[in-house]
Amino acid sequence: MTEPALAYDDVAETGEAPAETGHDFIPLSDPDITLAEIGAVDAVLRSPRISNGTLAEEFEAAFAAYVGRAYAIAVPSGTIGLVLALKAYGIGAGDEVIASSYSFRETAHAISLAGARPVFADIDYWSGTLAPQKVEERITPKTRAVLAANTNGHPAPWSELRDIAVRHGLLLLEDSTEAIGSRYKDRLVGSFGDAAVFDFAQPSLLTCGEGGMVVTDDIDLAVTLRRHRSHRLNERASVVVSSAASYQAGISDLAAALGLAQLRRIDEIVERRRLIEQLYATHVQSFEGIKPPYIAPDVTEVNWFLYLVHLGTRFTRSSRDAIAEDLRVEQVEAAAYSHPLHLQRHYFDLGYRRGDLLVTEKIADRAVALPFHTHLTDSQIEFIVETMKDASINVGAGAAIY
């Protein structure tokens, strides 16, 4: 039986501010840590090995089994995982990879880090995921792969994207850094791409501080990924292994122990977050002028990464920022969900400009990420929503929803 989640006074030594009332600081994310996780980490600290070892391998096997893939390769982050996957596929200078510009976690940076050119396609207004028809419009003779994300936990339209990839002979890569546990047509995310990437940093519902995982059913890809990731001590005399320079990009047994403990509790964590989602839904019903959460017909289950509020079209980016600032003044950590990648300096230098991706910009300018974790109380959520409603009155009350 799993121990209940720790109360704030039980973990005061962590330095986190208490969140018992609406007037105390309410963080955007707060890991669901119990005595099970603390015990797992304590056991590693008392062992003779805390670096990458057998626990990391156990975590890989357990995560592969959970997602339903043949192989899992643990890495320091989703970004590094994607870099290694692109390298393993031989994607680099002169190649193009189609991706979304709309993301909280900047996994797509890996495309540039691998030496390839990111080609951004626009998104679906409702789901926030890549729009298949927009993807197809971006394909050129240089296109090698499509990187589609399960944005904020909502699965991408994988059937349509797979059809496009097959017709054009492209790799289909899956960014599941925001969507652990979500399902598309009854299948868990992470099972649709030729390779899929996960990330375990906050605010992921499964967190081990920092870390990630690449999953695949391709044994050749798995072997190549491991070779590029790191060399083990018992491989130091191998002529074959030492022929490839590695990134030394494994994870420690400390992180793996935390990840394993969280994975064993993942159904419980998901259920606890669903209760928080239901509380939010109850309180935002009276909030006019926002776009309600959307779930596409083929999507079986969504485990939201963050609780997003999409403001109406009469709100501007500056008014959204003002609302987020008002929340922060009231000790509620809130943030713009996304500063679109194509408008960031690196991609601006590649020739992208505002107006290139109209739907992405329209959604990103009006999305506010609110605290979403299992330690929230009903009174805190009521306070968050009421504070946001009051702030919106000053910047655009009564705005049209769409």
The region of weakest confidence among 22-31, 222-231, 393-402 is 393-402
pTM of the model: 0.89
CATH number of the domain that residue 388 is part of? 3.90.1150.10
The pLDDT of residue 289 is 72
Q: Does 194 share its domain with 158? A: yes
**Last residue within a domain, chosen from 263, 284, 308:** 263
Rg (CA), the chain: 21
Residue 223 has pLDDT above 90, yes or no: yes
Q: Does 107 share its domain with 201? A: yes
Single out the residue of 333, 311, 327 nearest to residue 397, CA to CA: 311
The pLDDT of residue 349 is 87
What is the average per-residue pLDDT within 281-285? Answer: 89
What is the average per-residue pLDDT within 138-156? Answer: 97
On whether the CB atoms of residues 307 and 279 are closer than 8 A, the answer is no
**Last residue within a domain, chosen from 263, 280, 306:** 263
On whether the CB atoms of residues 334 and 327 are closer than 8 A, the answer is yes
Name the token pair of 57.
């391998």
Q: How confident is the model at residue 243 (pLDDT cuts 50, 70, 90)?
A: low
Pairing status of strand 117-121 against strand 96-100: parallel
What is the average per-residue pLDDT within 42-54? Answer: 88
Q: Does 112 share its domain with 183? A: yes
Distances (CA, A) of 287 to 89, 245, 377, 382, 389: 47, 55, 19, 12, 7
Q: How confident is the model at residue 242 (pLDDT cuts 50, 70, 90)?
A: low
CATH number of the domain that residue 172 is part of? 3.40.640.10
Average pLDDT for the chain: 89
- Let me know if residue 282 belongs to a domain: yes
Q: How far is residue 59's CA from residue 323's CA, in Å, rounded to a whole number?
A: 41
Q: Does 154 share its domain with 285? A: no
Q: How confident is the model at residue 12 (pLDDT cuts 50, 70, 90)?
A: very low
The pLDDT of residue 244 is 66
Q: How confident is the model at residue 342 (pLDDT cuts 50, 70, 90)?
A: very high
Residue 1 has pLDDT above 90, yes or no: no
Residue 13 has pLDDT above 50, yes or no: no
**Last residue within a domain, chosen from 248, 263, 278:** 263
Q: Does 254 share its domain with 374? A: no
pLDDT by residue (tens digit) across 179-221? 999 999 999 999 999 999 999 999 999 999 899 999 999 999 9
- Let me know if residue 2 belongs to a domain: no
Q: Please give the residue range of the domain that contains residue 189.
A: 37-263
State the total domains in the chain: 2
Q: Which residue has the higher pLDDT, 213 or 47?
A: 213
Q: Does 81 share its domain with 230? A: yes
The pLDDT of residue 370 is 95
Name the token pair of 172.
């289909």
